[in-house]
Structure formats: C-alpha cells, structure tokens
Structure 1
Amino acid sequence: MKPQRNTADLLPKLKSMALADRAVFEKGMKAFVSYVQAYAKHECNLIFRLKDLDFASLAQGFALLRMPKMPELRGKQFPDFVPVDVNTDTIPFKDKIREKQRQKLLEQQRREKTENEGRRKFIKNKAWSKQKAKKEKKKKMNEKRKREEGSDIEDEDMEELLNDTRLLKKLKKGKITEEEFEKGLLTTGKRTIKTVDLGISDLEDDC
C-alpha cells in the first residue's frame, strides 16, 4: 500500500476540538500518559527505553494543549513543544451534565482551600498569641524576682546600717575598744555577726 500524499493536517483540528470540549482534551492527556507509562513499565526495557522517547513529538502527535504533570516528565525540558496560551482549567465539557458536576466539584475544592487557609492562619495566630502570652508571663516573673531581690538588698543594707550605728554607740560609751569596733565593721560588711566581736550581752543592754 502506497503512502497517502497531500493528506490534511488534522492536528490543528484536534486541538480546536480539545479547546472546545474537555472530554477530547482529557482523552488526549490520558492517551499520552498511558503511552509513556507503557514504555516506562515495559519488561523489555532494552528496546523500549524511556530516555530515547521523543516526548515533544509524541505530545504533538496526541494534539496536547500542554504537557501533563507526571513523574516521568519531572525535571525535563521540551523546547520543541509549544503549549497553547490558554488556561486549560477553563475548558468546559460539551456535555452540560458533566460540566455542571465539574463546576460543583471545583466550587467544593475552592471552598475547602479557603477553609484550610483560614484554619492554618488561625493556628498560626493562636500559636503566636500563645508564644506572646508566654513571653509576657516570663517578663512579669522576671520583674517580680527583680523586685524581690531589690527589697532583700535594701533590708540587708538597713540591717548593716543599724549594726554600724550600734557599734558606734558602744564605742562612744566605752563598751568596746576601737579594735573591736573595726572588727565589728568588717564582720558586718560580710553579713556575718560574731558574738565575740559585737558582745551579745552589751547589745541586749543597749536594746
């Protein structure tokens, strides 16, 4: 049988049909995917080698409007294949019932996507609020500890001042010597009171 000459180029017509009816578009995509996967999974991989397959020419032969997303094509470039400048998600089914079902499914997917985004945003804000509250609590605890530490220091300073005053009175009254007075000052500076240096009985008399 002799090859036919002057045959009509059917690819533009097939692409027009795919643009007008989603059923035609999806059939071309499924046929391409099945063909490629048959190559990839064939037992005789010495003959049917996927790396030798001309994906661009194959896609043109199936009148594809764009390359499908599939693992076998991941990371590959196809400069010889030019996709149509059309959002293929907008291609409708000629069958009104199928198109109605598709639109219903798309609306459900959009609603779920919006809900998921809102949920993720809520969780993110909740986590941020929880973290902020935790920081505020930690800040208040630090401030409280600083106030408590500050009050302790003031009490100790006051106690030291009172002890120094008592020692000075004892020195003036002659109840302790200058050497005992100096020892008492040194001991008070270390926050330790020795009964030998201060004379407990004298303190009781003074009180």
Structure 2
Amino acid sequence: MWSYVYTSNILFQEFCVLFVCQTPILNQLDYKGYLCLLKLHRVGRTTKLGWQGNAIVFLLPKEEAYVEFLRVRRVPLEDRKSPDEVCDIVPQIRSAAKKDRDVMEKGLRAFVSYIRAYKEHHCSNIFRLWKELEIGKLGMGYGLLQLPAMHNLEHHNLSTKGFTPLEDICLDEIKYKEKSREKQRKNNLQAKKAAEQQQKNSQAKTAQSVEDDDEMAQEYRLLKKLKRGAINESEFAKLTRTEDLL
C-alpha cells in the first residue's frame, strides 16, 4: 500500500518527514527529502548508500558484556531508558491472531526465530544463558495463542511461567483473511488428508498381506508334519481350523 501511495501521489515526498517501511519498499525510494526513515529489519541493518543510521538492541542484565564486545569492534552503544509506562498491546495482537492465520503464523515464526537466535548466536560465551529464557513471557510478547511444541527443547525445561494459553480455540480452524490463501490452505489440507488415507490403506494392505503369508507358511509346516506322521488329519484340521470340512 505504501508503495502505491508513494508512486501515485507526487506530493507524498513533500509532506512525509517520517516514513516507516520494510526493505522491499525502501529499495524503491529516493532517500532525499526525508528527515527520519524508520525501517523494520530483523537483523539490524540500519542504512545504505552512505547514509548514517542507528539501531536499537535490547539486552538482559546478564548480557551487558555484549556492549563491551561491540565497543572493542568500534561499534559504540548509548544507554537509553525505557519509559516507565507502556501500552499493553498483547491483547490486540492476540485478537488479530485469532482473526487472521497470517498474523498467528508470523508470531509463531518470530517466536521460534528468537529462540534460535539465542541458541545459535556466534557470541555463545555471552548469550550462553539461552536456557534461562522465559519463553512463557516471550510467547505472550509475540501474541501467541498457544505455545508450539518444541521437541528439541523439551529436556531443557525452559520456563513457561507467565503464559496464558487460549484453551477455547482450535488453531487449525483459524483462517487466512486473504481468500486466495485460505482457498489454497484448504486444498492443501484436503490433499494431505487424501495422502494420509492412501498411506493408511497401503499399510493396512501390507499388513494383511504379511498376515496371509504367515498363515500360508504355518499351514505348509503343518502339512509337512502330517506327511511325516507327526500329526494326524484330525489334529491338522483343528490346527488349520478346517474341522467343518471333514
């Protein structure tokens, strides 16, 4: 939408002094004429084309060694105090997630990405305490409706304190607002269901075939015993369940 406004309104660049965007839109813009450009970027890129830029990093008290680490590499940081009062937007994010699957999935991906960023950080000597992350509060911050299953982290006992799951909602039933994506999702679900049923039928057929083979092998062994005189015909009929045929 922003791209359309910019390209279709020649007055746009004259009155816009604060522009919020993501990288795809940013690449189409002429930087000249903007007093402040706020770009959303997950890995901290701040500028391009020779411009100066600033980034904000949020650190826990146990991670303050990262400040010195960056200072040694000539990346000085300035301390900023967070406001005493902040607006609680978690209910709004969760409400949006309940109404649009796209919002819900983005929250899940960001949540998992955040934990991986800690776990795989190259400064492991500083961020080695990722096992102490309070993923319950983190999940609330990302507006998750329910915490995802993370089998590779189960044995680490990460704290889920502070998370309030919404028990009265089924995540599979949340739809995309965009009709084309929702239609594709339903098609994918139907295809997956059909594939699972086909696999189930195939496994049942294989199991039945194995059972039939075992039964034939058993009857063959009994027949050999009958020929050797190890068992009589009555015993053979009983073991093969063919007494009614005698």
Same fold by TM-score, threshold 0.5 exceeded? yes
Question: TM-score, structure 2 length as denominator?
Answer: 0.56
Query: In the TM superposition, what whole-angstrom CA distance separates every residue of 1:131-156 from its partner, at most 9, and x where no partner exists?
Result: 0011011111111110799xxxxxxx
For residues 2 and 52 of structure 1, do their structure 2 counterparts lie closer, same or farther at Cα, with a shift above 3 Å needed?
Answer: closer
Which of residues 59, 80, 83 is equivalent to 2:162? 80
Provide closer, same or farther for how the CA distance between residues 140 and 14 of structure 1 changes in structure 2, counting only shifts above 3 A. Answer: same
CA deviations on 1:80-137 (whole Å, 9 max, x unpaired) are 3232112211110000000000000000000111111111111111100110011011
RMSD (Å), alpha carbons: 2.2
TM-score, length-scaled by structure 1: 0.65
CA contact (8 A) 2:137 2:161 kept: no
Matches within 5 A, 1:103-142: 103-142=186-225
How do 1:154-193 and structure 2 match up within 5 A?
none
2:97 counterpart residue number: 18
The alpha-carbon distance between structure 1 residues 140 and 18, as it changes in their structure 2 partners (threshold 3 A), is: same
Bigger relative CO (Cα 8 Å, ≥ 6 apart): 1
Identify, as 1 or 2, the structure richer in helix: 1
Structure 1 runs of 4+ with >4 Å offset: none
Match of 1:52 among 127, 132, 142: 132
Q: CA distance change for structure 1 residues 14 and 69 in 2, over 3 Å: closer, same or farther?
A: same
Amino acid at match of 1:84: L
Paired residue for 1:184?
none
Rg (Cα) greater in structure: 1
CA distance in 2, matches of 1:101, 1:148: 64
Match for residue 90 of structure 1 among 150, 161, 173: 173
* Structure 1 unaligned spans of 5+: 150-207
Q: Map Cα deviations across residues 7-59 of structure 1 (whole Å, 9 max, x no partner).
A: 44211111110010000000101111111100000011222121121111111
Flag the structure with higher strand content: 2
